[in-house]
Amino acid sequence: MMVVKLTPIGVFAIAANASGTMTLEEFSRLQSYIIPFIIATLFLIFWIIPGLAAAVTPFSYREILRSARDVLTTGFVTGNLFITLPMLVENAKNLFKDHRSANDDTDNFVEVLVPTSFNFPNIGKLLTLLFVLFAGWYVGKNIALADYPGFAVLGLFTLFGGVDLALPFLLDQMKIPSDMYQLYVVTGVINGWFATLLAVMNLYAFTLVAACAATGLMTIRWSRIFRFAIITLVMFVAILLGTRILLFALASKEDISKRILMQSEIEEDAPKEDSEIVDSYEMIAGKNHLESIIGHGKLRIGYNRENLPFSYNNESSDLVGFDVELMHELCRDLGVEPEFIPWTYETLKIEFERNKFDIAIGGLIASPERMARVNFSVPYINITRAVVVEDYRRHEFKRWRTIDDEHLVRLGVVGELRTVNVKSDLPNTDIVSLDSYREFFTVNPKGVDALVISAEAGSAWTIVYPSYTVVVPEPYKKAHAGLVMPLGDSVFGNYVDDWLELKKTSGFIDRLYDKWILGKSSKNEKPRWSVMRNVLHWGEEQKE
């Protein structure tokens, strides 16, 4: 009783935490799981389970619901099935007594059945398996009907170890990204109450039916069962259609991180079409490279057309990305206009020699071979070599040596330099050169098993293609990416180096990292609602 009295305080704390941390956008994403789950639990609690129990026991539907009312309330408010066990035993005994069917056997069976059946997976836990189906739909990985029986049996046995162990395991078995489990954790505050409510009714009804069967009180009334089945079928169809209509009106499959990444913009309007390449570009007489750029009022920037997250076109066809926004900031500080000129890995060296641009971007990794031909700035981002694979295969790529020794995979690589480096490090592995990163994620005509890419770039690609994940095999291979400029005049290079250091110190580089690589919103988020600040106004006096 002391726990019951303290429960409202705990429930308020849980609800306050959820309301303060879950945004409306996050809740909108989960409607397609939360709504069917709640509807299914209520249908089972208030119709299916008590109706079936009433059809095979001497108790009526109303008697079962009435006797379970206070237990259901306690289970829902506390979200704890264990605390209801004494009440379940007492209420079941009272129901037999009120029906004049009580004896020593019924009391003994009730006292044994409740604590014993508590340890087995109940319907409340079994219903959480719906989350795996939702996760498959969410990432576009549909589970075939033929896999349902095996999935159900596997789910039943894994639930003996608890939901928190079963769901990640089942997601792996169904080849669904395991990080979807994080969404399940978010729903636990809401769905946990209804799952407990269902578990209470399931345990109570099972105890009544089992006790009646053991004491000879079980009576099967076929007319009641037939009527119950007809009504249940009609209700099920109506609920199914109603839920479908509701979800079509409310639910959305849109991924927030993907939306942020593909709809992100830069403060200045980026060009929607590539600027014309100017073959004749001469230095201003008597001026160094930096002074010539300022004199022309234009900075020529070489970029790769499809190099997410450094340079790419968003949904509005605007050129955006980590490096693109970095260049807009550089142009603002120089007081010049940006001119973006595309390059490819095959033509980058030639275009530098032909003086096509002043600076090149794209997360280019510094290497001795490249540094002999071009001038690299100080590193503005650290690069970690990684592979991107379908999520369910991530355990196959834990170590580079294992990948090379087993001869079981084909690795895709974009760019001549990276291809050479990977072949040098993994001589026994089949290395396949790809024209672009997107080729791997879409058609994959060369049958590549994994894509070698930086962990930073791979993180952005997996936001766009959520069924893939980034794996960083051991030992970790680090590199540095810098901005690339022509060899020769060092004045512009020195300016870029000092400018990058200033931007690191100011936190500008970190903000770009959060926005373009992690897919976090760049908008200033409002502080979470709290009683101290919003009701009691504590802390406002200090600000004043």
How much is the average pLDDT of 399-421?
82
Q: Which of 231, 254, 251, 234 is nearest to 243 (CA)?
A: 251
User: CB–CB of 202/49 below 8 Å?
Assistant: yes
Distances (CA, A) of 184 to 35, 190, 489, 538: 14, 10, 56, 34
Residues 401-425: b if buried by 16+ CB within 10 A, e if exposed: eebeeeeebebbbbbeebbebbeeb
User: CB–CB of 129/155 below 8 Å?
Assistant: yes
Task: Give the three-state DSSP class for 311.
Answer: strand
- Which superfamily does CATH assign the domain made up of 384-478 to? Periplasmic binding protein-like II (3.40.190.10)
CA–CA dist 387, 251 (Å, integer): 33
Residue type for 483, please?
Answer: L
- Which pLDDT band, with edges at 50, 70 and 90, does 299 fall under? very high
Read off the pLDDT of residues 7-41 as tens digits, 9 standing for 90 and up. 667 666 755 665 665 555 556 666 777 888 888 88
CATH class assigned to 260-275+284-380+482-517: alpha beta
Q: What percent of the chain has pLDDT over 70?
A: 81
- Which pLDDT band, with edges at 50, 70 and 90, does 277 fall under? very low
Residue 169: is it exposed, middle or buried by C-beta count within 10 angstroms (0-12/13-18/19+)? Answer: middle
pLDDT at position 509 is 92
pLDDT at position 34 is 81
Higher pLDDT, 224 or 471: 471
Query: Do 260-275+284-380+482-517 and 384-478 share a fold?
Result: yes
Q: Is the pLDDT of residue 263 over 60?
A: no
- The pTM of the full predicted model, rounded to 2 decimals, is 0.56
Which residues are paired to 343 by β-bridges? 304
pLDDT at position 387 is 92
- Per 3-state DSSP, what percentage of the chain is helix, strand, and coil (rounded to 5)? 60, 10, 30
Residues 50-82: b if buried by 16+ CB within 10 A, e if exposed: bbbbbbbbbbebebbbebbeebbebbbbbbbbe
Mean pLDDT score across all residues of the chain: 80
- Which pLDDT band, with edges at 50, 70 and 90, does 151 fall under? confident
Q: Which of 109, 175, 167 is nearest to 139 (CA)?
A: 175
Read off the pLDDT of residues 391-402 as tens digits, 9 standing for 90 and up. 878 888 888 888
User: CB–CB of 431/411 below 8 Å?
Assistant: yes
Read off the pLDDT of residues 162-191 as tens digits, 9 standing for 90 and up. 777 888 888 888 777 776 776 677 676 677
How much is the average pLDDT of 302-311?
86
How much is the average pLDDT of 381-388?
90
Mention every residue, 6+ apart, whose C-beta is less than 8 A from residue 17: 189
How much is the average pLDDT of 271-296?
62
- Which pLDDT band, with edges at 50, 70 and 90, does 388 fall under? very high
How much is the average pLDDT of 61-77?
88
How much is the average pLDDT of 260-272?
54
Residues 179-217: b if buried by 16+ CB within 10 A, e if exposed: ebbebbebbbbbbbbbbbbbbbbbbbbbbbbbbbebbeb
Higher pLDDT, 145 or 541: 145
pLDDT at position 280 is 45
Domain ranges of the chain: 33-250, 260-275+284-380+482-517, 384-478
- Which pLDDT band, with edges at 50, 70 and 90, does 255 fall under? low
Q: Which of 148, 212, 136, 69 is nearest to 391 (CA)?
A: 136
381-390 and 450-454: which strand pairing?
antiparallel
Q: Is the pLDDT of residue 105 over 50?
A: yes
Read off the pLDDT of residues 206-219 as tens digits, 9 standing for 90 and up. 999 988 888 888 87
pLDDT at position 315 is 76
CA–CA dist 372, 255 (Å, integer): 43
Read off the pLDDT of residues 460-504 as tens digits, 9 standing for 90 and up. 888 788 778 889 898 888 888 899 988 876 889 899 999 999 999
pLDDT at position 9 is 74
pLDDT at position 272 is 41
